[in-house]
Each structure stands twice: as structure tokens, then as C-alpha cells.
Structure 1
């Protein structure tokens, strides 16, 4: 156990050296790291550990899915589906399609028409499904009819709950893309309960910009301005008309879901900020056809139920790209491009809680964590040297290497260090010397039974290995459970704890054994003073 081949020694020392190089940028300021990054090749590690919201400050926002808005959107879509089915089945309708609580109703007096219509309407009612259980048999839509021809379609409570849950999951992905576009690092975005979403953005000290990005639905539609206020039109406010309402056809030519890219820019003629966009193949075809058929008519660009621009179609636009102008500021154009590029939120989100953690408070947390870590480290070192003498010094060197490797792994993985993460590092310091204590006590026991120094060292390391692996493996399992089932601060603690366990096994056993073997080879002691 005390013999190391030359390749193994080189591998151990190379791992320590690599850890030092990767962890070194954490001792530099942001300006120094930027200078280093510009001066060195791209493969040289210059990434520091990302600090969490509680350490570097930032913005914290708790959002809630607006259930009423979501239901209204679903009912509107249901009404459009019913209208489409009526056209396809050519059923005669008495009156119009009326919106009722969580659904719509219509009256079809003719029995033959109802016979054609009802099967098609019931196709809209599909059982809810689960990835684990498959179809649960619970319908998201109830379809009822009466002998006098009244047909009612109503969303079930189970269907509403499921839709809210799926809307929250979809919103998380949209929010993540929007926040990433802000250029921040390691945002924490997670669902809380069925209808709430927690957003934490470390380093972002402008909560208003975050709220602006998160609070907009960014539902983009291209429609035609109507010739008059009658017919199937909506009355929407127009920026060009100073906020006055103008008639806009309800038919959507192309929606924002067909956008593949959007970027801020400047109009070459007026030098005003604009947003350029590009459609996918389906969007380009529909947009090209609509502009070809409507040359000379105003095209309404509708964002969140407001006409932000209504340019007149001069020639067919068949290239699949265009631009949006609406008297934007540079920041508004940039934010709109982010929103359109990230996609539309499935429902309106309401801010129920917000707070900003200042950098001063984060600095205080770092200082307190550093003081606690240093005190804990010094106490552990004092105990090890007092208890084991020179072997305690070896354990201290291994402990320093352990901390360096933890920060190297955090930097390399791009993990976020939080205040609970610092607690995990402090705990790792105590757990690391536990392994050394197991080894040293085993060596003492072997020496008491009369073994030689070489034999006691060899047996001590060999017999302590199983115990060290068992103890750390069970803790690693607990850390994995905390990471996958925990949230926020719990995950931060689990990350540093799990990484610390991996580095502990390497430094407390392998590196310590190498240092002890090197010392023994040079000193050749007859007996061990441990």
C-alpha cells in the first residue's frame, strides 16, 4: 500500500496542480479575470465560482399563473374550435355561441344537425393523461345536450388544474430563455406548488427590468386592419392613432409561434430603433400569401392586444422576414426582441412577491461565511496537530488540497456557491479529517500489537479504506437525494457536500498515503510517533 509507481505519482500530482490552476481565478477580481481571459488562449481556465443570490445580491421574484386569464384564453380557443366544427358540419345554429362560466353553449334545434355535430364536439373532450399512469380516464371537457337542442361545453375542475400545471411548466421554459437572454449567470427558476414560479437572478440589481421581461406575455399577431367596424373584428388601441381604438380583423394571419428569430436594430432611413424578425417555412408561406393578396391594405402588427404598428403593404413580402417599428426606445426594442425570441408565455403571470438583495448584504454573507470557514479550519488543524503531531501536519496539507479541489470543481462545472454551500464546505472540512482519524487510529492499533512501522502503516491504510468508502458513500447518497428532491438553498448545500465527499476520498486517502509513503522512504523510522 505504500509503494507508488512513477505514473501514479505523476497522475496524483498532476490532479493537484490542475486543481490549483482551475481554482486560481477565484483569487482574482472580475477585471483581472477579464484581462487574463483576453491575454490567454481560450482553453486556459479563467472561470471563477458563480456566487448565488445570497452572496452577490440580485433580484428575487415570485410569480403566479393568472388562472382566470388562462381560463378565458382556453374558453376563447374552445369557441373558435366550435365555430370551425360548425362550418365543417354545416349545422344550423340558433343564435350565436355564448360564453358561460368555464365554457360555451349553443343551440342547435335540428336533430339531424345535432347528430352530425355532437360526435365532433365530443372529440374535443379528451381524457387527461399521465406519463406514468397513461390515460387517467378524467376528461378535461364535459359536453352535455338537452332535448330542445341546447349544447354546453364546460371545462372540468380537473382539466383546469391540469392546464394550470402545464402552463406553469411551459412558463418556466419561456422565463428561462428570457432571463438567459439578459446575460445573467446561473438563474434559479423553479416551480412552487401548482401555479407559482420562483425566479432568482444573482447579480441583477435592476428588478424593474426583470419584472418588465417577466410580466409581458409578448403575444405577437399579424392581422389585417378592417375597412369598417362591423363584421368579425376587434376594437384594439393603436399607438399610431394615439391610443384610439381601430377595427382589426380577428383572423390571425401569422402568430408569434412561427417566428424563428428576432433581433433589435435601426431603420436605415429614419435611424429609429426597430425589431427585425424571420419566420419559419410555414409562417413565411402564410405571410407571403397574405401580403400578396392584400397589396395596398394596412397590416396590423398586434402585440399583447395593442396595434403597435400598421404599415401599408406596398409589395408582396415573400422572403419570410421583415421588421417591426413602433416608436421604440433602444431598450424597448431590445426587450421586445428578447420576448419574441424567447416565445410567448402561455398565460398572464402576476407578481406576488419581489425583493432585491443588495451587494452589501451579499458581501456581509461572504465575510461571515469566510470567517466561519477559517475558524473551523484552524480548530480542526489545531486538533489534528495536537493529537497526531507530524501526521497531523500531513492531514492539514491534504485538507488544504481538498478545499482547493472543491473550488476547482465548482468553477469547472459552473456551479453556484450559496451561503448553505459554504456550510457544506465547512462540513466537508470536518468530514475530511474524520477519514484521517480513521487511518491514524488504525495505524496506532497496528503499532500496539507489535507490528513494524512499515507493516503498521501498510495495514492501517488498507484496513481503513473500506470504512472510509462506506461512510462517505452513505453521505453521498444522502447528498444526491437532497439535490434531486430539494430546492434552492438545499441544492446549494447538496452540491458542495457531494463534491467535498469525492475530493475527500482522493485527498484524505490517496494524497495522504502518498505523502506518508514519501516521508517513510526518506526518514526510514524504526517506530512511529503517532
Structure 2
């Protein structure tokens, strides 16, 4: 064996061992089933092969802007009262939620009011007025609106991903969908209960605690509540329906402060409560440190007052504050087990910041995925066998060289995928088949150059040297340009397209190694550079 040949062979064997470990890891046995289990643990199947749910969601970002300006209205009302200014903050147009107006401003104190508003709201709002109509306008800055909308999408992705993780789905994909504005792509391999997934993902129920502003027993009707208020609900208050004992059979109307004491992100954990002696069940909740501190400050200074626990837009419980409460509470009522599970799950994962609409729903059955795997693998094997047989017939002994390189190419490609946790999709299998074709193309270039040198009268060893040297530039050029195209597909394509680009890129990198290095080592191991008149089967 010529100089350095042992080192080259050892390098090839080392690469193969590393790739086999990436494909199979350490199998728990040598049976066919044990190897198959190890293979599926390392080579992950995509949605189109494994089956599952494919969803494209639209985030209604206007909801987040509405919620933000609702809080601003409540804060403005408190600031006006604290600083003894006249004026009533209102939102006029629900379709233009970034605008808040303060009506009835005293012109003599307009300058002082502007200074207060600029200090507290100037970073987020453009402040104009008051004009002759004594109205001051706060308009959320465009950059602030854009930032809020983007943060809403990011928070929605984080919340959905957290909820999906708690469902126990393996290899889920939750990411921005590049083909639409404020859209999210959700792919859940192996999921069959699509309705349960949709209910889990889109649940927007949010628990919050509010101060009771009116009668703690509530009002029998909405009209009765309005009559007690003189026909108008104050801007910092809201009228919600529910029941003080959580019994939905006898709903009443409660007047509450619009701004919650705690809610949303203030909840850290929740767990279901079993049925008690009153036949009701509920949820224990735990607040975050900051939420608990705020809750403690409020309850310690409002002993004897009433507070309402609100879920979504419904009052679930009204209770008197008997003492300071820091970070734990409880909600009880006439809930079903499914409602309790959904509520505790939502509190643990956090509420979505905006409404989610489904604009595309698609599911792939496990049987269809199995058919795709079988047909895709059959196509790949048939294509590879056809190519290998052609190479043996056309290039004779050198065809064995090409066939070995093709087989190693496939092993290295799968090893790449195992180490990178890439997902194999049906288009990915197409990428594997295309890689086989490109691998053959590289060998054809090399072999034809060797033939040309042999026809020119060169010896076997010299012809092989010149054949590889002349074909190298062409091979690198074709592979690099194709890898650049695959990179563009990966950056701008969706899931299946990315799967194709991934396997194509890995296959091309493997092909550079097998077609040039491995194939050359095989030739060199059979050709003696010092022999005169030696023949090569090609």
C-alpha cells in the first residue's frame, strides 16, 4: 500500500463510524426492530411523513393595541383625579384604537396638564390640543404601534410554543410565517386530535382581579345597574355579568374598576381543586413575586372592601377582603372538569395577548405518512440501484468505485441529518434522490477525463492524477452554485422547501468528500504509480 494510504483509509473509516453513530447512536440491540427504533430516534420525520397537524394562524394585533389604550384610559382617569385636573379620557373609534381623547379640559390648566402627560405618556404618545373644543388628543406613535404589534406576535409565539410543549408533542414547529403579515406557522407531527390542539392554542381566557365599584351583590339587570349610575358608566369602570358564588344559573351584573389589581402575566402557576362539600370545584393560583407584592399592598389597605375574580369577561367570584393576601388565591364555581383543566392550563402557560384566527388548517393521517415513506424510500432505492447498475455496465471496474462512493454519500448525508436534528420530509427524500444524481455526475466527469488521458497515451497512474485534477474545478463550481441556490431556498422557503434544501446541501457536501477523496483513495489503492503498462478498468 502506497505512502499515506493507511492514514487516508483510517480517515474514511473514522468518518463512517462517526456518521453511523449520528444515524443510530448506540442501539439497544442488533435486531431489525432495535436498529429501526434507533434510526427513528435520530432521524426525525417531518409532518408529511409522520402525519400530524399543519396550522397557519393570524394574530389580530389590533386587540393588543386596544388593550393598551384601554389601560391608558384607566391610568389617565387616575392621573387626572390625583392631580385635580378636569377632563374625561375616552376612546371614540374602536377601529382606530391608538387614539385617546380627554374631553372637557380646563384651558387655564392646559399647560400644566400637558406637562404631566408629557412626563408620563410622551414616550408612547403624540400629544396635541386642547383646541377650541377643550379636547386634548393622545395618539400612539407609529413606531410604538409597530413595536407593540411585533411584540404581540412574539409573545403569541412564545405562549403557543409553551402550550404545545405542555401537550407533549415531539419536534413541534412554532415560528413566524414569512408569507403573511402577523401570521404564525404551527406544525405538530404525530398529532391526531386537531380540535383539542386548536382549543388549547387559541384559548384566550385570562384571569384577573378587580375592585368592586358598585353593589357587591350585583344588579339584577343591566338597566338596574345603569339606573343606579344615573344612566352613564364612568370611563374608569365597566359592567360585567356573572355571579358572586360562581353559579351561572342566576347571573347578575357587577360594576368593577376597569384597571385590574392583578392579572395576565401576574399568575405563575395553577392547579385544579377537587369537588368540595358544596359540589363545586375550582383552581388554586399562585402569583409572581411582583404580582404578589402588588396584591398584598392593595388587600392590606382595603380590608373590608370587595373584589371580583374575572375570567375573560365573566365575573366568577366576589369576595370580601378579610386580611392581607400576598401570592396565593382560589377560584371556585360550577365548572366542568374540562373547564377546570382548560383554566388551570391557561393560567400556567399565560394568556394570549390577542385573538388568534385560523386561516389554514391541514392534517396528514399516519397512514398517508406511512405510504409517503414507503413510496419515497422505494423511489430512492430504485433510483440508486438503477444508477449503480448503469455505472457497473458503462464503467466496468471503475463503476464499483462509483457505487461505493454513492453508498458512502448516503451514509454521510444521513449522519449529517442525525447530528443536526434535521427533519426528513417528502421533498427531503427528493433532495436525497437529486443528490444521488449529482454524485453520479461528479464521477462521470472524473471518469471521462481519465478516459481522455488514457486515449492520449498516458499511463494509468498519470491519467488518474490528471483526471481528478482537471475535473476538480468543475465539480467545485457546480456544487457551490447549487449550495448557494439551496441556501436561498432554506432562508425564504417554508417547511417542506426547507427540508428539500437541507438534504440537498448535506448531500452535496457529502458528495464532495466521496467523489473526490474516497474515489481517489480507491483508485490509488489499486494502481501502482511505478508500474509500466498497468491497465485500469474504466
Q: What TM bracket, shorter-length normalisation?
A: 0.7 to 0.9
Distance in 2 (CA, whole Å) between partners of 1:81 and 1:146 is 23
Say yes or no: does 1:98 pair with 2:101: no
* Aligned pair partner of 2:247 in 205, 229, 241: 241
Per the alignment, residue 57 of structure 2 pairs with 63
Distance apart, 1:208 and its partner CA: 1.0
Say yes or no: does 1:216 pair with 2:216: no
Distance in 2 (CA, whole Å) between partners of 1:495 and 1:264 is 42
Per the alignment, residue 351 of structure 2 pairs with 344
Distance apart, 1:236 and its partner CA: 3.5
Distance 1:36 1:417, change over 3 A: closer
Per the alignment, residue 135 of structure 1 pairs with none
CA contact (8 A) 1:55 1:419 kept: yes
Say yes or no: does 1:47 pair with 2:41: yes
Q: CA RMSD for the aligned pairs? A: 3.8
Say yes or no: does 1:178 pair with 2:163: yes
Distance in 2 (CA, whole Å) between partners of 1:514 and 1:226 is 86
Q: Secondary structure at the match of 2:42?
A: coil
Distance apart, 1:47 and its partner CA: 2.1
Q: Secondary structure at the match of 2:20?
A: helix
CA contact (8 A) 1:4 1:514 kept: no
Distance in 2 (CA, whole Å) between partners of 1:383 and 1:34 is 34
Distance 1:107 1:470, change over 3 A: same
Per the alignment, residue 281 of structure 1 pairs with 289
Say yes or no: does 1:421 pair with 2:428: yes
Per the alignment, residue 527 of structure 1 pairs with 535
Q: Secondary structure at the match of 1:300?
A: strand
CA contact (8 A) 1:56 1:359 kept: yes
Distance 1:377 1:327, change over 3 A: farther
Distance 1:28 1:505, change over 3 A: farther
Per the alignment, residue 82 of structure 1 pairs with 76
When the two structures are superposed, what TM-score results if normalisation uses the length of structure 2? 0.81
Instruction: Write the deviation string for residues 141-187 of structure 1: whole angstroms up to 9, x where unpaired.
Output: 57343223122334588876665454334322322222222221333
Which runs of 5 or more structure 1 residues have no equivalent in the other structure? Answer: 38-43, 128-139
Distance apart, 1:48 and its partner CA: 3.2
Distance 1:266 1:159, change over 3 A: closer
Distance apart, 1:206 and its partner CA: 0.8
Instruction: Write the deviation string for residues 207-231 of structure 1: whole angstroms up to 9, x where unpaired.
Output: 1111112222243323345561567
Q: Secondary structure at the match of 1:147?
A: coil
Within 5 Å, give how 1:333-372 maps onto structure 2. Answer: 333-372=340-379
Distance in 2 (CA, whole Å) between partners of 1:28 and 1:368 is 28
Distance in 1 (CA, whole Å) between partners of 2:79 and 2:183 is 35
* Aligned pair partner of 2:308 in 300, 305, 308: 300
When the two structures are superposed, what TM-score results if normalisation uses the length of structure 1? 0.82
Q: Secondary structure at the match of 2:86?
A: coil
Distance apart, 1:205 and its partner CA: 0.8
Q: Secondary structure at the match of 2:477?
A: helix
Q: Secondary structure at the match of 1:344?
A: coil
Distance apart, 1:314 and its partner CA: 5.9
CA contact (8 A) 2:27 2:35 kept: no
Per the alignment, residue 133 of structure 1 pairs with none
Distance in 1 (CA, whole Å) between partners of 2:280 and 2:443 is 68
Distance apart, 1:80 and its partner CA: 2.4
Distance in 1 (CA, whole Å) between partners of 2:468 and 2:45 is 38
Distance apart, 1:510 and its partner CA: 2.3
Say yes or no: does 1:194 pair with 2:200: no
Within 5 Å, give how 1:404-415 maps onto structure 2. Answer: 404-415=411-422
Distance 1:284 1:356, change over 3 A: same
Distance apart, 1:427 and its partner CA: 0.9
Rg larger in structure: 2
Within 5 Å, give how 1:131-530 maps onto structure 2. Answer: 143-154=128-139, 163-189=148-174, 190-191=176-177, 192-225=179-212, 228=215, 232-238=237-243, 240-242=246-248, 244-247=251-254, 248-259=256-267, 261-262=268-269, 264=271, 275=283, 277-294=285-302, 299-309=307-317, 316-318=324-326, 320-322=327-329, 325=332, 332-520=339-527, 526-530=534-538
Distance 1:11 1:264, change over 3 A: farther
Q: Secondary structure at the match of 2:58?
A: strand
Distance in 2 (CA, whole Å) between partners of 1:185 and 1:15 is 29
Which runs of 5 or more structure 2 residues have no equivalent in the other structure? Answer: 219-228
Distance apart, 1:332 and its partner CA: 4.6
Distance 1:332 1:515, change over 3 A: farther
Per the alignment, residue 116 of structure 1 pairs with 112
Distance 1:473 1:107, change over 3 A: same
Distance 1:268 1:405, change over 3 A: farther
Greater shift in the superposed pair: 236-245 or 151-160: 151-160
Distance apart, 1:402 and its partner CA: 1.7
Distance in 2 (CA, whole Å) between partners of 1:440 and 1:213 is 59
